Structure 1
Amino acid sequence: MLQLSGAGKRFGQKLLYEDVNWLITPDERTGLVGGNGTGKSTLLKVLAGVEQLDLGTMTRARGMTLGYLPQDGLALKGRSVFDECLSIFDEIRSMEQEAEDLSAKLAEHEPGSPAYEAAADRYSYITDVMHANDIYTLDYQVGTVLGGLGFSKEDWLRQTEEFSGGWQMRIALAKLLLQKPSLLLLDEPTNHLDLETRNWLEDYLRNYENAFVLISHDRYFLDVTVGKTVELWNKRAHFYFGNYEKYLKQKEERRAQLMSAYKNQRDQIEHLESFINRFRAQATKAKQVQSRIKELEKIERIEVPEDEATIHFTIPQPPASGRTVIDVQHLYKSYGEKKILEDVSFSIDRGDRIALVGANGAGKSTLIRMLSGLEGPTSGEIKLGHNVLADYFAQDQYKVLDPKAKMLDDISGIALKVPQVELRSLLGCFMFSGDDVFKELGVLSGGERNRYAMAKMLVSPANMLLLDEPTNHLDLRAKDVLLDAIRKFTGTVLFVSHDRYFIDGLATRVFEVEDRRVHIYPGNYEDYLWRKQGGPEKVTEEIRSSPAYVPDPVVVVAAPVKAAVSPIKKLNPIKLKQLEDRLAAVEHDMPKLEGDIAAAEEQLGNYSSADESQRIATSLEKMRADHAALMIEWEELSTQLEEQNT
C-alpha cells in the first residue's frame, strides 16, 4: 500500500535516520517508538506527505487515502462541532441530490436511449457509493464518534472556536475516524484524552477496518492496539512483531544475540591476529599468513552501538508524617450556581498511593487544589495530619519557576547533597542533555518547563505529593523513571493521570469523582474496572464510617468464585502418547517457522521490486497465520497434558 525504500531524513546537519525500508500493508497496526529526537514525528510527517525525504523514495498504491493527526496546532472555526464533523461527508451528501435529479432524467428518457443509459450508469454508481458509506446513518456515525470522544450532546451545537486546543484536537481526531482513510497516521492521539475516552479509542482502533501507524507515550495504549512495533534507534528502523511489551522482550533478545555474535567475532579476529603476528616473520608460513590477512580483511565487523543508560533515581526520603495524612469531612464546592462536589468525606493514610480518576470536568483538579490549600472549599473541613508537608504539582507548574534561573544551578540549589553527575543523569532522563542544562528556564517551552519542574520535585520532595497529570510531556523512558522513583517513595501520593500503565503500576487505591461525590475502590485501576463491571459494590467513606457497615473481606482479596467443574476424564495410554507426540512435533515445528518468519522479514527489508515485496508479504502473512494456529494448538495440548498429570 505504501513503501519506503532506502529512506533517509536530515534535520539541519543532523541525520535522523537512513536506509529505512518499510512496506506498509493494508492490515498494518504499528506503533512507532524511539527516544526523544530520533525522528518519529518527522517520519510520520513523511508518510503523510507533509515533509519530503532527503534520501531514498516513497511510493503509494493508487487510490489509497491518508489521514494525519499532528500532536497539536490545529484550530477550527466557523461551524458547530456536529456540522464540522458532518462536513467530511459533503461530497457523499451532494450525491443524494444528484440521485434525485438522475431519477427525474430516467423518467424523461426512453429506456435504451444513450441519455437513459448514461443516466442509469451514473445513478448506479452513485447509489453504490451512498450505500457503501451508509448515507442514511451519517448523523448516527457522527454522534457515536463524538460521544466516544467525550462530547456531550450540548457540545455538538457549540461553535468549534469555543473549545480549547485539546478539545480542538479531539474534533480533528473525530473527523479522521469518520473518514476511515486507508492509512491513519496518529501522532500522540491520547495526549488530550481522559481515561474513558482513551478506553473508547482503544476499542475503536482494535476494530478499525484499515491500517494505522501511531506514536504514543502511553505504554498500555500501545500494548492493546498495535501488533507491530517499529523502533527508530541508532539512525535505523528496527522492526518487531508484537505489541510494546513483546517489543521490549524481543529487543533484549536481539541485543543478547548481537552481543554473542560480537564476542564470537572478536574471538575469531583475535585468533587470526595472533597467528599473523606470531608467524609474520617466518618465510615458511608466508602463505598461511597472507591467507589469514585476506580472511581478516573480508570480515564485516559487527558494531554494538551504545545503548541508552537505564537511570534509577531514588527520591530522598522525607520526614515521616502521622498515620492520618488528610482527613476530609462533609466537603462542598461550587462556583456560583454550578455544583462541583457535594458532601464528600474521606481520609488518606500514610503510605497511600491514590489515583484520582473521573471524566474531564468531574472535579478532579478542583479537589486536588483544595487538598493542596490553593483553593478553599465552599463548606466542609480539610485537616492535615501531624507533621504533614504537602507539595503540589500542577498541570501548569512551569508558571512558578524563575525564568532567569539556569537549570543546573536551580536544581543544584535545592539538592545540595546530590552529586551534579547524578543530577545531570536525572535531567537527561527528562530529555535535557548536553548544553540544555545550562539554559535559562525562561527560554524553555511550557512542556519543557513542566518536565523540569517534575525533575526538580523529585530531588527534594515533601512527605505528601499531590500530582496533577505528572506524566504529561514525558516520554516512555521518563515515565518509567518517575514510576520507579515514586514506588520507592515512603511518603504519601495522590495523583491524577490519564496513563493507564502508570496508574496500574502505582495506585493502591482509586478515588473516583463522579456525580459530585467521591467513591473509593481498593487496588489499582484494573481492580477498579473489575468492580465497576460487576464486582462488589463501591464503598463510600460515608458508608465505611457508618456503625452498621461490616467490611467484607471478599471485596479486597478474593477473585470471583469459579463454578464447580466436572472431574477430568483420564485418557488411555495410547491417546496420551499421541498427545505427547503431537506436542513434541509442534514444539519442533515452531522454532523453524519462527526462523522462516524472521528470514522473510529480513528479505522484506531489502527492497528489490514491488512484485517481489508483495510475494514475500503474502508468504509472510501465511506463515504468521500458521504460527498463530500452532501457538493455539500448543496451548490446548499443553493444557490437556497438564490436566492429565494433575
Structure 2
Amino acid sequence: MIRLEKIGKQNGRQIVFIEASAALQKGEKAGLVGPNGAGKTTLFRMMTGEEEPDEGLVATDRGVTIGYFSQDVGEMAGRSVVAEVMDGAGPVSVVGAELKELETALADPERLSEMEALIERYGEVQARFEELDGYALEGRAYEVLSGLSFSQEMMDGDVGRLSGGWKMRVALARILLMNPDVMLLDEPSNHLDLESLIWLEAFLKNYDGALLMTSHDREFMNRIVTKVVEIDGGALTTYSGDYAFYEQQRALNESQQQAQFERQQAMLAKEIKFIERFKARASHAAQVQSRVKKLDKIERVEPPKRRQSVAFDFQPAPRSGDDVAMLRNVHKRYGSRSIYEGLDFSVRRKERWCVMGINGAGKSTLLKLVTGTAKPDAGTVTVGGSVKLGYFAQHAMDLLDGDLTVFQDLEATFPQAGQGSLRALAGAFGFSGDDVEKRCRVLSGGEKARLVMAKMLYDPPNFLVLDEPTNHLDIATKEMLIGALSSYEGTMLFVSHDRRFLAALSNRLLELTPEGIHLYGGGYTEYVARTGQEAPGLRS
C-alpha cells in the first residue's frame, strides 16, 4: 500500500535516511522503532506527503486513505467533543456537513425559488451519506470516546475546556472513527490510562487496515504488531514477528556481527604484522605486495551499532521502621463527591503496592493523602518513624528551574557530588553528550520526568510514592528504571498504566471499586490470574 524505495533525507546537517527502503502491505500491523531523533516522525510525514524525500520515492497505491495521529494536535475549541471527533471522520463528515447545510436551506423561506434543485441535491447527498453509513457515525463516535474513557458529560462538553492530554485522546478518536485504509500512529499510548490502553489494543487488533505505529509501551506494541521496522544509522531494517522477536533477533544479529568483526580484526592484525615484519626484505617483496593488495580488496566488517544505555549504581535506601504508612477511618470528599468513607489501609516495610481503579476512583487522591499533599476530611494518616519520603507527581515537573541546564540542576541539588557521578546519572536517564546543556524550560515532558526521577533516585528515600512514573519514558529508560527499582530495598506505593512495570515491581495490589477496596497479596500478576482481567472492569 505504501512503499519507500531508496529514500534519502537530510535535515540541516543531520543525515536522516540513506538509500532506505521498506514497505507497508495491506492488513499489516507494524511497529516503528529506533532511538530518539532517528527520524520516526520524519518518516511518518513523508508517508503522508507532508514532507518529500531528497532522493528516492515514496509511493502510495491509488485511492488509499491515510489517517495520521501525531503528538501535535493543534487548536480545538468552540464545539462539543463528539462534534470535533465526527468532523475528522473523513469523506463521511464532509457529506454530513453538506447534508446539514441542505436541511437548513430547505427550511429557508427565502430560497423557495431554488427548492427543486435543493431537493434533488438533498436526495443525492442523502444517498451518499447512507452509503457511507453516516447515520451510524454519531453512535460510533460515542462508542470510541467511551472506549477512551470519556464520560457522557465530557463528550457533550466544549472540547476547548479539556486538558492537553484529553485533547490528545480526541485527536486519536478522530483517526479511529475515520477508519482509513492506513493508520499511522505516533505514540498513541501516551496519555492513556490502563483501561483505555486495553480498549485501544482490542480496537487495533480488530482493525482491518494497515497500521504503522510507535509506542513506548512494549506490552502494547508486542500484542499488536506482527512486523517491526527499525530506523538506525539512516537505514530501515524490517523484522518479521512481534516486538519480543525483534529484540531477540536484533541481539542475535549484533552478536553475530560482533563475532564476525572480531574474526576479521584478528585476521587483519595477523596480515599487517606480516607486512610490517617483512616489508624491508627483498626476498619477501612479492609476498608482501600480494598481501597488501589482498587487504585493499577486503570489504571491512563494521562493529554493530550499539544503543547507548548507561548503567548506574544507585545507593541503597536507608532502613525505615516496619510501619511505613497507616490510614485509619479516612474520609475524603471533593465537593458533593465522596472519594473515601472510612478507609483503613496500611503499608509495611518492603511492600510494593500498586493502586488500581477506574478513572475517578481515587488513585491519585490516595497518594496525595499518604504524602500529605492532601488532608483527610476525617480520620488520620500517619507516616512511620525513620521514613524518608520521595514523591513523584506530574506537577513535580513544573517545579524545575527553567533557567538552569540539566547539569546545573543536578549540581544545585547535589552540590557535594562529583561531576563524573552526576554525568553518569544523567546518562542513565537518557541525557548524553550535549543533552546535559539543555535548559529545563525547553525539555519535553518525557525529559522533565526523567530529570525529576534521576534526582529522586540519586539519594534514594526509603519510601517511594510514584504517580504514573513511566509517562513519556521510552522503552530503554523504562527498562533501566525497572532494573534500578527491582533491586531497591525500600517500600513503594505507585500508580502506573504500564503492565510490564506493574508486573515487574508490585508485590501487593490495592483495587479501588465502588463496592469497596480489594487487596491482593501477589501484586499485579496475581490480580490478573485471580480476576481474569488486566484492569478494573475489563476482561483479558
The 1:448–1:234 alpha-carbon spacing in structure 2 relative to 1, beyond 3 Å, is same
Residue 350 of structure 1 and its aligned partner are, at CA, apart by: 0.5
User: Which residue of structure 2 aligns with residue 512 of structure 1?
Assistant: 511
Residue 463 of structure 1 and its aligned partner are, at CA, apart by: 1.0
Deviations 1:260-286 (A, max 9, x none): 222232344344445545555666765
Aligned partner of residue 396 in structure 1, secondary structure = helix
The 1:143–1:97 alpha-carbon spacing in structure 2 relative to 1, beyond 3 Å, is closer
The 1:428–1:48 alpha-carbon spacing in structure 2 relative to 1, beyond 3 Å, is farther
Q: Provide the C-alpha distance between the structure 2 equivalents of 1:451 and 1:377, rounded to a whole number of angstroms.
A: 31
The 1:439–1:173 alpha-carbon spacing in structure 2 relative to 1, beyond 3 Å, is closer
Residue 406 of structure 1 and its aligned partner are, at CA, apart by: 4.3
Contact 1:315 1:486 in 2 (8 A): no
User: Which residue of structure 2 aligns with residue 457 of structure 1?
Assistant: 456
Matched, 1:478 2:481: no
Deviations 1:176-197 (A, max 9, x none): 1111111101111011110000
What does 1:488-507 align with in structure 2 at a 5 Å threshold? Answer: 488-507=487-506
User: Which residue of structure 1 aligns with residue 115 of structure 2?
Assistant: none
Contact 1:397 1:453 in 2 (8 A): yes
Amino acid at match of 2:93: D
Residue 362 of structure 1 and its aligned partner are, at CA, apart by: 2.3
Aligned partner of residue 333 in structure 2, secondary structure = strand
Deviations 1:181-239 (A, max 9, x none): 11101111011110000001111111110111111111111111111112222232222
User: Which residue of structure 2 aligns with residue 594 of structure 1?
Assistant: none
Amino acid at match of 2:49: G
Quick check: which has more Rg, 1 or 2? 1
User: Which residue of structure 2 aligns with residue 184 of structure 1?
Assistant: 183
Residue 490 of structure 1 and its aligned partner are, at CA, apart by: 0.8
TM-score by length of 2: 0.87
The 1:208–1:410 alpha-carbon spacing in structure 2 relative to 1, beyond 3 Å, is same
User: Which residue of structure 2 aligns with residue 61 of structure 1?
Assistant: 61
Residue 492 of structure 1 and its aligned partner are, at CA, apart by: 0.7
User: Which residue of structure 2 aligns with residue 110 of structure 1?
Assistant: none
Residue 405 of structure 1 and its aligned partner are, at CA, apart by: 4.2
User: Which residue of structure 2 aligns with residue 254 of structure 1?
Assistant: 253
Residue 165 of structure 1 and its aligned partner are, at CA, apart by: 1.4
CA RMSD of aligned residues (A): 3.0
Contact 2:339 2:361 in 1 (8 A): yes
Where does structure 1 lack aligned partners over 5 or more consecutive residues?
101-118, 539-646
Deviations 1:452-495 (A, max 9, x none): 11111110121111111111222111111111111111111111
The 1:72–1:345 alpha-carbon spacing in structure 2 relative to 1, beyond 3 Å, is farther
Contact 1:368 1:466 in 2 (8 A): yes
Matched, 1:487 2:490: no
Q: Provide the C-alpha distance between the structure 2 equivalents of 1:338 and 1:97, rounded to a whole number of angstroms.
A: 40
The 1:306–1:350 alpha-carbon spacing in structure 2 relative to 1, beyond 3 Å, is same
The 1:465–1:534 alpha-carbon spacing in structure 2 relative to 1, beyond 3 Å, is closer
Deviations 1:356-413 (A, max 9, x none): 2222332211221111011101111111122112121110212333444443344245
Where does structure 2 lack aligned partners over 5 or more consecutive residues?
104-119
What does 1:118-267 align with in structure 2 at a 5 Å threshold? Answer: 130-131=130-131, 133-267=132-266
User: Which residue of structure 1 aligns with residue 46 of structure 2?
Assistant: 46
Q: Provide the C-alpha distance between the structure 2 equivalents of 1:469 and 1:143, rounded to a whole number of angstroms.
A: 27
Q: Provide the C-alpha distance between the structure 2 equivalents of 1:376 and 1:418, rounded to a whole number of angstroms.
A: 36
TM-score by length of 1: 0.73
Residue 55 of structure 1 and its aligned partner are, at CA, apart by: 3.1
User: Which residue of structure 2 aligns with residue 23 of structure 1?
Assistant: 23
Q: Provide the C-alpha distance between the structure 1 equivalents of 2:533 and 2:396, rounded to a whole number of angstroms.
A: 38
Q: Provide the C-alpha distance between the structure 2 equivalents of 1:10 and 1:512, rounded to a whole number of angstroms.
A: 50
Q: Provide the C-alpha distance between the structure 2 equivalents of 1:14 and 1:141, rounded to a whole number of angstroms.
A: 43
Q: Provide the C-alpha distance between the structure 1 equivalents of 2:533 and 2:18, rounded to a whole number of angstroms.
A: 51
Residue 257 of structure 1 and its aligned partner are, at CA, apart by: 1.1
Q: Provide the C-alpha distance between the structure 2 equivalents of 1:387 and 1:273, rounded to a whole number of angstroms.
A: 64
Q: Provide the C-alpha distance between the structure 2 equivalents of 1:211 and 1:439, rounded to a whole number of angstroms.
A: 38
What does 1:7-22 align with in structure 2 at a 5 Å threshold? Answer: 7-22=7-22
Amino acid at match of 2:268: I
What does 1:510-589 align with in structure 2 at a 5 Å threshold? Answer: 510-515=509-514, 517-533=516-532
User: Which residue of structure 1 aligns with residue 321 of structure 2?
Assistant: 322
Residue 65 of structure 1 and its aligned partner are, at CA, apart by: 0.9
Contact 2:86 2:137 in 1 (8 A): yes
Worse-superposed segment, 24-33 or 420-429: 420-429
Deviations 1:500-523 (A, max 9, x none): 111111111122233284332222
Deviations 1:52-111 (A, max 9, x none): 22332211111111111111333322322222333323345479899x9xxxxxxxxxxx
Q: Provide the C-alpha distance between the structure 2 equivalents of 1:516 and 1:374, rounded to a whole number of angstroms.
A: 26
Worse-superposed segment, 278-287 or 8-17: 278-287
Identity of aligned residues (%): 40
Q: Provide the C-alpha distance between the structure 2 equivalents of 1:206 and 1:534, rounded to a whole number of angstroms.
A: 18
Residue 304 of structure 1 and its aligned partner are, at CA, apart by: 1.1
Contact 2:329 2:343 in 1 (8 A): yes
The 1:142–1:57 alpha-carbon spacing in structure 2 relative to 1, beyond 3 Å, is same
What does 1:58-137 align with in structure 2 at a 5 Å threshold? Answer: 58-87=58-87, 88=89, 89-91=92-94, 93=96, 130-131=130-131, 133-137=132-136
Q: Provide the C-alpha distance between the structure 2 equivalents of 1:224 and 1:347, rounded to a whole number of angstroms.
A: 35
